[in-house]
Every structure is written in C-alpha cells, then in structure tokens.
Chain A
Amino acid sequence: MTLIGFLSYAITIFLMVAGLTIVVSWGNLIKTLVGLGIFQTSVYLLFIAPGKLIGGTAPILDPRFTVYSNPLPHVLILTAIVVGVATLALGLALVVRIREAYGTIEEDEILALDAENPDDGGPRA
C-alpha cells in the first residue's frame, strides 16, 4: 500500500479529532453542533473509502465485469447520514428553544443564569 493509500484514513482521523475538539472546546452551542456534525461526517468516510476498489464497478453479474466495489457501506452510510441530519435538526431546534428561554446560546452565560436563579424544584425556575 503506497503512502497515498493512507490518505483517506489520514483525512478520516483528522476530521474525527477536529470535530471532537470543536465539541469540547467551544462554549457556543451552535459551534458545538458544528463540531458534532464534523465528527459524525468522519465516520461516513471511515466506512465508504475502504469499500471502493480502483477500477471496480457496481456488483452487476456480467462477464464483462470482474472487479466489484462493495455497495453495502454506501447503504449503511445513507442511513447514518439520515441519523446525522435528524440529530443536527433536533440539536438546532433545542438551541432555538434555549435562546427563547435564556436569551443566549453561550454556555457560560447559560450556566451563570442558572446559578443566579437557583432551582427551587418548582415547575418554572
């Protein structure tokens, strides 16, 4: 395997680490979700890249084709993309609600607001 063959793995790992770093290091909720999206995207590459063979075709039973690429990773990742979209949509919806309730989407300001108004255990603290 040549060095260039490891490129897809290198990109996968870079995206993985970059995404996770953004999630943990930014206090802005939107940026957190962006990081989460990048982190999830790295997995798409992890699955899809090894499934492709250079010169391979879709698995069609015909004497003209002998080298096939594996189509299963694409199907799996199609599902994972749907999951990722749903997660991101739900996350953004929650951020909208948080902004309505707190007036900010900065984590430290939200924590400060929660600390100012101690939770008395009632319904609307």
Chain B
Amino acid sequence: MNVSAHLPVLQVVVPLFSAPLAVLFRRASVAFLLVTAASWAAFAIAIALWQQTGDGQVISYAIGNWPAPWGIEYRVDRLSAFVLMLLSGMAAIILPYSRASVEREIPSEQRYLFYALFALSLAGLLGITVTGDAFNIFVFLEISSLSSYVLIALGRNRRALTAALQYLVMGTIGATFIVIGIGLLYLVTGTLNLADMASRLGQVNDTRPVLAALSFLTVGISLKLALFPLHQWLPNAYTYAPSAVSAFLAATATKVSVYVLIRFYYTVFGASLVFERLPLPQIMLVLALAAMFAASAIAIYQDGLKKLFAYSSVAQIGYITLGLSFGSLLGLTASLVHLFNHAVTKGALFLLIGGVRAVMGRSRISHLHGLGRVMPVTSFGIVLGGLSLIGVPGTAGFISKWYLVLAAFEQGQWWLALAIVGSSLLAVVYVWRFVEVAYFREPHAEASERREAPLGLLVPAWILVLATLYFGLETSVTVGSAKAAAAMLLGLSP
C-alpha cells in the first residue's frame, strides 16, 4: 500500500479521527498532544500535496474506489492545495498556543472537549477545501460550523453565548441557502460532482433555475464569509470567543468561504456567466467598497481591541472581494494573496491580544495605557501586525495591496486605487489609537511593572508576526501559488 496515493483523504481523516480519540481519553494533556500531532500531520500532508500539484497536476481521489461522477471525489488542484496549506499551517501554529491559553480561559473539565472541537472544526474546513462534491461541501461546512459555534460559546463572558447563538442562526441560514442552491443545481444537472456539474451546465447555463442557484449560493456563501452587510455575526463572535478560537476563526473560517465562492464561480458556473451575463461584479464592487470604508470607520470607534480587529477583518474581507469583482487574472491573484496574507496577519494579532488578556486580564484600549512599557515584546508585535493591516512596505499587507492597486489600474479604474489608499488611511487611524495609548501614555499605577506574556503564548504569536514580515519580502510562495491558481481558474496557461 502506498501512503502517498491516499494523501487527499488522509488530509481530512487524520484530524477528524483525532477528535473522537481526544474525547475517549478524557485527559486534556493527551487530547492536546493528539490534536496537535494531527494538525502537524495535516500540515505535512498539505505541503506534500502543494508540491505534487505545483506543476499543474490535478489529484483526483475516489472515496471507496467508486469512480468520479457516482462516488464522492476528492480533488486537489493548485488552488485547494494553497488553501489547505494555509488552514493546516494556521492550526499547527495556533494549537501549541492554545495549551497555555486554554489553561487560563476554560475550566479544566471542559479542556479535552475544546481540543476535540478544534480538531472537528479543522477537519471540516479541510474537507470543504479538498472535496469535489457539492453536497459534501455542505456536510463539511456544517461540521466546521457546528464545532465553531460551541468553541465560541466556551468564552467566559456571557455575551459569548448570545454571540454563538447569533452566529448559529445566521450561519444556518447561510448554510441552508447554500444547500438550496446545490439542490437547484442538482435538479438541473442530476449530478453533485463539481466537475461533472460544470460540464453539464454548459448547455443550460442561462436558464432560470441556474440563475436562482447562483443567487442562493452567492447569498449563502456571502453570509458565511461575512461580506458587508451580512457581517453582523462576526464582531461579537470574534470578540467573545476564547483567544485561540478568535485567532483560528479569523485566520481560517471566512477564508474557506471565499474559497468556496471562487470554486463555484469559476469551476462550476464559469466566469462568463458570473462576470458578463449578470451585474454581480458591480454589486460585489459596491459591497467591497462599503466594507472597506464603513467597517474601518466603525473599527476606529471601538474600545475593545478584539472588536476593533474584528471590524477590521470585515474591512479586509472587502479587499478580498474587491479583487474578486475585477474578474481578471491580476484581481484574482490579489484576492488570493490577500486571503493568505490577511490570515497570517490577523492570526498574529489575535494571538498577541490573547497574551495581553492573559497578563492584563482585559484588552480594552482604555486599560492598556503604557502597554509598550509593560509588555514591550507583545506591543511591538501588535504594531507590526497593524502595519501589515495598513499595508506598509516590508509587511505582507503591502504585497496584497500592491497587487490590488495594479489590478485596479489594469481595469483603468484609477479612482479605485485612491479608494484602496483612502481606506488604508482609516486603518492608520485605528492602529494609531493603539500606538498612542501603548507608547505615549503613562501606565496605570497598579500595572506599571514589566510583565510579559508567558512564552507558550508569545512564541507562536511571534512566529506569525515574523511570517507577516517574511511574506512581505519573500513572495514566491504566496504570489507564485496565487498566480498559478488564478491562471488555472481562468483557464490560462501560467
């Protein structure tokens, strides 16, 4: 038996099975080791798959050896390998962090369940990315969503409960919209395999059920990816979830939804239907601009650091959809690069804020006077992450904004380049609020001696901060993969 032939299914099965094992052992330490080992294995598998698909090869894996249109097919191409690597990499960094974080935030009898839920959530997200079957996407989506609702509800503030329920209601509406869209496509084509569906849709592309399916899928996925104005669930969910969960969800959950949207638009419906027949690009452009400005403006007025960066996430998702709305090679590349870079940056920021909460007990800006003196390493990391959100050269955020501006100019839309710069100025304002309080105010008397976050929290967070800087200088992995994936989606030779 050759293991490498089974990598696509192992990608999902390894984290999936670590969850029931973690529950069976009922010991937080064993559960932690199991799930962390599973996430590292998943990361290794994702890197192997990324290398295998690097030359444009598409790996097709028939579950249970049932051939493709009838059985469930797992399909790994450049795009899914890129997203798989991001997801499993973030989990592999955030899980070691979660040990020290969970000990502070979650009662001891619930800790093993935390790790099991984390593994389920990861397995669901990986499954969405790897599967080539429409209904399978829905099932994995619900696996990851249901576990993330519980993870959010584990937060200590009682608002975590209402945030989780709000996310559950909106997330379920989104998932049901998606399954209605899939149902309509199934009625029209009689198949659930995405590739098969695409080839059968060719003849009936412009019929009403197909257009209805496209609308249902767009709205449903937009709810999941928190496209403005469907983002209401996101700020509270990120704010009141435990620190490790905020970081993991901010880095992965919305990004996978973007992947699903791209997958349906380009692989199933085809760019010509989405971008030429319908006014979808214009709608997405308007919503993206609204997100970039409105959410950034709301972020400026937040006192809670987590909520501030949660609103900033909504704004950054605006940049991703802005790139999508161009429908061009450069725009799609910019979207995918920003998807990766924003995940790394926001992951780093939420991990650092977790450290702040562990030491200071809270993360309101008004309580963080002189944080630069009390926690210099953590504060410096937050500033670097903030610079990446703004898009300062030398950070990952600059690379994605650079490509976005290039894509805008390519379309002849120079005013969009101005809009991108303008909304970055709003990011300067909300990052500056932190800088001002942390570096230019005297620490409160009771919290003036120097205390740094424990190493278990600091090291994983700084790995991501350094990754933010690394991907700002060395772009062959991000831009190279994104360009190749975008060319594949548009049917161009790279």
Residues of A participating in the B interface, judged by any CB pair closer than 8 Å: 16, 20, 23, 29, 32-33, 36, 39-40, 43, 46-47, 50, 73, 76, 79-80, 83, 86-87, 90-91, 94-95, 97-98, 101-102, 110, 114, 119-125
Chain B contacts for A98, CB-based, 8 A? 158, 161-162, 165
Bits for B128-157, please: 1 = Cβ < 8 Å to A, else 0: 000000010011001000100110010011
Contact of B176 with A43 in the complex, beta carbons under 8 Å: yes
Chain A contacts for B156, CB-based, 8 A? 123-124
Q: Which single residue of chain A is at the shortest CB-CB distance from B139?
A: A79
Q: Given contacts A36-B173, A40-B172, A83-B142, are A47 and B183 in contact (CB under 8 A)?
A: yes
Chain A contacts for B363, CB-based, 8 A? 121
User: Is B186's beta carbon under 8 Å from chain A?
Assistant: yes
Contact of A80 with B169 in the complex, beta carbons under 8 Å: no
Contact of B159 with A97 in the complex, beta carbons under 8 Å: no
CB within 8 A of A32: which of B105, B169, B183?
Answer: B169
Contact of B153 with A94 in the complex, beta carbons under 8 Å: yes
Interchain Cβ contacts under 8 Å between A and B, 26 examples: A36-B169, A39-B173, A39-B176, A40-B176, A43-B183, A76-B135, A80-B138, A83-B138, A87-B172, A90-B149, A91-B172, A94-B149, A94-B164, A94-B165, A94-B168, A98-B161, A101-B158, A101-B161, A114-B162, A119-B304, A121-B304, A121-B364, A121-B367, A124-B158, A125-B157, A125-B159
Q: Tell me, in angstroms, the Cα distance from A95 to B153 when the chains sit together.
A: 11
Q: Tell me, in angstroms, the Cα distance from A91 to B167 when the chains sit together.
A: 10
User: Is B59's beta carbon under 8 Å from chain A?
Assistant: no
Chain A contacts for B176, CB-based, 8 A? 39-40, 43
Majority secondary structure, A binding face? helix
Q: Tell me, in angstroms, the Cα distance from A83 to B304 when the chains sit together.
A: 35
Q: Tell me, in angstroms, the Cα distance from A125 to B150 when the chains sit together.
A: 20
User: Is B23's beta carbon under 8 Å from chain A?
Assistant: no
Chain A contacts for B362, CB-based, 8 A? 120-123
User: Is B421's beta carbon under 8 Å from chain A?
Assistant: no
Q: Tell me, in angstroms, the Cα distance from A86 to B303 when the chains sit together.
A: 36
User: Is B180's beta carbon under 8 Å from chain A?
Assistant: yes
CB within 8 A of A123: which of B149, B150, B157?
Answer: B157
Q: Given contacts A23-B169, A86-B146, are A80 and B364 in contact (CB under 8 A)?
A: no
Residues of B participating in the A interface, judged by any CB pair closer than 8 Å: 105, 135, 138-139, 142, 146, 149-150, 153, 156-159, 161-162, 164-165, 168-169, 172-173, 176, 179-180, 183-184, 186-187, 192, 303-304, 361-364, 367
Q: Tell me, in angstroms, the Cα distance from A110 to B159 when the chains sit together.
A: 9
Chain B contacts for A91, CB-based, 8 A? 165, 168-169, 172
Contact of B146 with A102 in the complex, beta carbons under 8 Å: no
Chain A contacts for B153, CB-based, 8 A? 94, 97
Chain A contacts for B146, CB-based, 8 A? 83, 86-87, 90
A80-B138, A91-B168, A102-B158 are known; give 10 further A-B pairs, CB within 8 A: A20-B173, A23-B173, A33-B169, A50-B187, A90-B150, A119-B304, A120-B364, A121-B367, A122-B361, A124-B157
Chain B contacts for A73, CB-based, 8 A? 186
Contact of A90 with B183 in the complex, beta carbons under 8 Å: no
Chain B contacts for A46, CB-based, 8 A? 180, 183-184
Chain A contacts for B367, CB-based, 8 A? 121
Q: Tell me, in angstroms, the Cα distance from A98 to B168 when the chains sit together.
A: 14
Chain B contacts for A90, CB-based, 8 A? 146, 149-150, 168
Chain A contacts for B149, CB-based, 8 A? 90, 94
Chain B contacts for A39, CB-based, 8 A? 173, 176
Chain B contacts for A94, CB-based, 8 A? 149, 153, 161, 164-165, 168
Chain B contacts for A86, CB-based, 8 A? 142, 146
Chain A contacts for B150, CB-based, 8 A? 90
Q: Tell me, in angstroms, the Cα distance from A122 to B157 when the chains sit together.
A: 8
Contact of B172 with A36 in the complex, beta carbons under 8 Å: yes
Chain A min CB distance to B70 (Å):
9
Contact of B157 with A80 in the complex, beta carbons under 8 Å: no
Contact of A123 with B361 in the complex, beta carbons under 8 Å: yes
Chain A min CB distance to B328 (Å):
35
Chain A min CB distance to B61 (Å):
20
Q: Tell me, in angstroms, the Cα distance from A91 to B145 when the chains sit together.
A: 12
Q: Which single residue of chain A is at the shortest CB-CB distance from B147?
A: A90
Q: Tell me, in angstroms, the Cα distance from A16 to B173 when the chains sit together.
A: 11
Chain B contacts for A114, CB-based, 8 A? 159, 162
Q: Which single residue of chain B is at the shortest CB-CB distance from A32?
A: B169
Q: Tell me, in angstroms, the Cα distance from A46 to B180 when the chains sit together.
A: 8
Contact of B179 with A43 in the complex, beta carbons under 8 Å: yes
Contact of B161 with A79 in the complex, beta carbons under 8 Å: no
Chain B min CB distance to A106 (Å):
12
Chain A min CB distance to B303 (Å):
8
Chain A contacts for B105, CB-based, 8 A? 123
Q: Tell me, in angstroms, the Cα distance from A50 to B209 when the chains sit together.
A: 14
CB within 8 A of B168: which of A87, A97, A119?
Answer: A87
Q: Tell me, in angstroms, the Cα distance from A46 to B182 when the chains sit together.
A: 11
Q: Tell me, in angstroms, the Cα distance from A125 to B172 when the chains sit together.
A: 28
Contact of B157 with A119 in the complex, beta carbons under 8 Å: yes
Chain A contacts for B139, CB-based, 8 A? 79, 83
The residue among B150, B173, B192 with the most chain A CB atoms within 10 A of its own CB is: B173
Contact of A97 with B161 in the complex, beta carbons under 8 Å: yes
The residue among A20, A73, A94, A102 with the most chain B CB atoms within 10 A of its own CB is: A94
Q: Tell me, in angstroms, the Cα distance from A94 to B150 when the chains sit together.
A: 9
Q: Tell me, in angstroms, the Cα distance from A97 to B154 when the chains sit together.
A: 11
Contact of A29 with B165 in the complex, beta carbons under 8 Å: yes
Chain A contacts for B179, CB-based, 8 A? 43, 80
